Amino acid sequence: MVVNIKNNILKDFAKYVSLNVISMIGMSFYILADTFFIANGVGSVGLTGLNLVLPLWSLVSGIGLMIGMGAGIRYSIQIGKNNERGANRVFTHAIVMGVSVGIIITIIGLFFSYDIVKLLGADEVVAPLAGEYLKTLLSFSCIFILNNIITAFVRNDNEPNLAMIAMILGSLSNIVLDYVFIFPFKLGMFGAALATGTTPILSLIILSTHFIRKKNNFKLTKCKFNLSYAKGIISLGIPSFITEFSSGIIILLFNFTILRISNNTGVAAYGIIANLALIVVSIFTGIAQGIQPIISKNHGKGEAKNIRAIFKYGLITSIVLGIGCYFIGFRFSDEIVNLFNSEGDMILQSMAVDGVKIYFIAFIIMGLNIVTTSFFASINKAKESFIISISRGLVVIIPLIILLPNFLGMTGVWLTIPLAEVITLLISSTLYLKYRKEIST
């Protein structure tokens, strides 16, 4: 019996994690595809503009993940307790919150995009391209946020494979549309943003089959909006928001620092690395999202042994994949960077290759921190999850990005993330050991 239980847990882990990793990689290709086609179709100026507006993309994506992950955890716990009414109220609140925030961001994007990119550091050459891209992208804010929310609920409603299919087909359509809009149609930055903005529509159409086939165990229900429900969703989802949005804040801080050291060429080099990093972060996020439904349901049932086993599998998987990603980046750094350097800029090439070899060291440790963040959120330990996410996202990085470049130049920039992950690992390990001590007493 014990062997069968372990086999079932491992089977569930493999299913949910593999499908979510593939889904999140697909999602990361939204921007990576833009990076590749803009670099080859618009040039380094377009690449600089794209990198300057990435913090705003991270904001929108982070809000969607925050509501989706927070509500998904609440939903799974309610299902574990057989509380169908509570589960439907969680879903209803998530949709209302997502649409409301999406409308606000859309309005801001339509009227203030060009002012925003100037505040982000765009000069008179970059600002027109960056502003056009941002205005178009933010016009689809509601769609992006709703896509993240519905994906989270479908995944938590025992259909992680459908969530994966929606993400993958959406990403593939983005690649195709990027090529069509930028090259044959010659729409430049507008075309890249339009391709990225329309692809979640396809994902939502695919996800809608979950309702058409009446597979859904959740639905919109008539209820009064309750602030305590909203706070509960946000408290559990805020670590996912910080993980996503902090990447945008980091990009912003790095951009200002790099502009001072190496001008637009340095920003373009960092843009390549930041977008490559998004793929690897998406792998770790996929592991974190994959273990969430299983841990939350087992938490609702009080199955502590199952929770520990799933967490252990998540940590092992993140270490193995992190080492693999670092090896690929180190061994093939020149070939990878060359894909985004269509103009053959040797300074850009050298700078980005050096950055990949140093920056990618962080991947060996990063997954451990992201998975531990998800673990604490999944068992309703919002405080511990928040501490880890805010540490690796902002608190540790800010002093490092201010200090290290002053002494080491661009090498200091590249070393910031690896060192921040090491420090955060010490924090997350301490919190986990404290948690184990509490439950054993």
**Cβ within 8 Å of residue 79, ≥6 positions away:** 87, 156, 217, 297, 300
What sign has the CA pseudo-torsion 139, 24, 187, 270? positive
pLDDT tens, residue by residue, 69-114:
899 889 988 887 888 999 999 999 999 999 999 999 999 999 999 9
Angstrom distance (rounded) from CA 257 to CA 263? 9
Report how far apart, in Å, the C-alpha atoms of 30 and of each of 169, 178, 193, 348 are.
Answer: 11, 10, 10, 23
Q: Is the pLDDT of residue 362 over 90?
A: yes
Exposed/middle/buried for residue 414 (C-beta within 10 Å: 0-12, 13-18, 19+)? buried
What sign has the CA pseudo-torsion 182, 183, 185, 187? positive
CB of 237 closer than 8 Å to CB of 66? yes
Q: Is the pLDDT of residue 2 over 50?
A: no
CB of 325 closer than 8 Å to CB of 333? no
Q: Which of 344, 308, 341 is nearest to 439 (CA)?
A: 308
Q: Which of 141, 143, 149, 160 is nearest to 93 (CA)?
A: 149
pLDDT tens, residue by residue, 302-354:
888 888 899 999 999 999 999 999 999 999 988 988 887 777 778 888 888 99
CB of 90 closer than 8 Å to CB of 229? yes
More confident residue, 377 or 33: 377
CB of 326 closer than 8 Å to CB of 364? yes
Q: Is the pLDDT of residue 7 over 70?
A: no
CB of 286 closer than 8 Å to CB of 23? yes
Q: Which of 414, 217, 253, 211 is nearest to 329 (CA)?
A: 414
Instruction: Give the other-Cβ count within 10 Å of 432's Cβ.
Output: 17
Exposed/middle/buried for residue 147 (C-beta within 10 Å: 0-12, 13-18, 19+)? buried
Q: Which residue has the tokens 């912003």?
A: 252
Angstrom distance (rounded) from CA 162 to CA 208? 10
Q: Average pLDDT for residues 399-406, to the nearest whole number?
A: 92
**Cβ within 8 Å of residue 250, ≥6 positions away:** 393, 397, 401, 417
Q: Average pLDDT for residues 29-43, to the nearest whole number?
A: 79
Extended beta strands in 204-300, E state = none
Q: Is the pLDDT of residue 33 over 80?
A: no
Q: Is the pLDDT of residue 1 over 50?
A: no
- Please report, as a single letter, which amino acid is at residue 415: L
Q: Which run of H or E residues covers position 117?
A: helix 84-119
Domain boundaries, the chain: 2-440
Q: Which of 193, 104, 98, 113 is nearest to 148 (CA)?
A: 98
pLDDT tens, residue by residue, 201-217:
999 999 999 999 998 88
Q: Which of 12, 51, 11 is nearest to 258 (CA)?
A: 51
pLDDT level of residue 136 (50, 70, 90 thresholds): very high
CB of 49 closer than 8 Å to CB of 126? yes
Q: What is the pLDDT of residue 4?
A: 52
Angstrom distance (rounded) from CA 347 to CA 368? 34
Q: What is the pLDDT of residue 419?
A: 96
CB of 261 closer than 8 Å to CB of 413? yes
- Phi and psi angles of residue 147, each rounded to the nearest 5 degrees, phi first: -60, -45
